[in-house]
Amino acid sequence: MASQAQNRERDGYELIVDNRKARHDFFVEETLECGLALTGTEVKSLRGHRANLRDSYARIKDGEAYLHGVHISAYAPAGQFSHAETRPRKLLMHRREIDRLWGRVRERGYSLVPLKLYFKNGRAKVELALAKGKRMYDKRESIARKTSRREIERMLKSRNR
């Protein structure tokens, strides 16, 4: 029986980096898969899992979507010809998707946050979330719910033995 990770790799899915903090800081309302316009050295760095999504966000400007704050480490063998590590990267989306997201982001409190960066059938993709920021009490409530769920599972596990 194949594991879930082996199934993903077989399906052409390879996770590069996951932004777990985004799920802690935001309420995710919907997600969208987008392509990325990258240079060759950026792709080579991503194949080595050398990226970071912390404090990154997407912004729509002049009818085009860009990903800001993503750190993709320089590709060492390229030397001085490597890429800029934190440059804005263009997101590849359909016009109606961009327009729909722009309408939602103009509403108060919504943000575009990247959740995952991965390869799908050899192409770099980003899972973008339309999200609303959590308040401090929401974060505390989420942590309390998570710890209580963990304790219940631990008790049930020890009881079943």
Provide the sign of the torsion angle of the four alpha carbons 26, 31, 32, 34, taken in this order: positive
pLDDT single digits (tens) 22-67: 888 888 888 999 999 998 899 999 999 999 998 899 999 998 999 9
CATH class of 4-134: mainly beta
User: Quick one: CA dihedral 101, 105, 110, 112, positive or negative?
Assistant: positive
Each as own residue / partner, the long-range contacts of residues 91-96 (CB below 8 Å, 24 or more positions apart, any chain) are 91/34, 91/35, 91/36, 91/37, 91/58, 91/64, 91/65, 91/66, 91/67, 91/126, 91/128, 92/34, 92/35, 92/36, 92/37, 93/32, 93/34, 93/35, 93/65, 95/63
* 79 vs 75: CA distance, rounded Å: 7
Give me the residue spans of the domains in the chain.
4-134
Q: How many C-beta neighbours within 10 Å does residue 114 have?
A: 24
Taking only the tens place, the pLDDT of each residue in 85-123 is 889 999 999 999 999 999 888 877 788 999 999 999 989
Q: Which helix (H) or strand (E) holds 148?
A: helix 136-159
pTM for the complete prediction? 0.76
* Contact status, residue 68 vs residue 57, Cβ threshold 8 Å: yes
Q: What is the mean pLDDT of residues 16-26?
A: 87
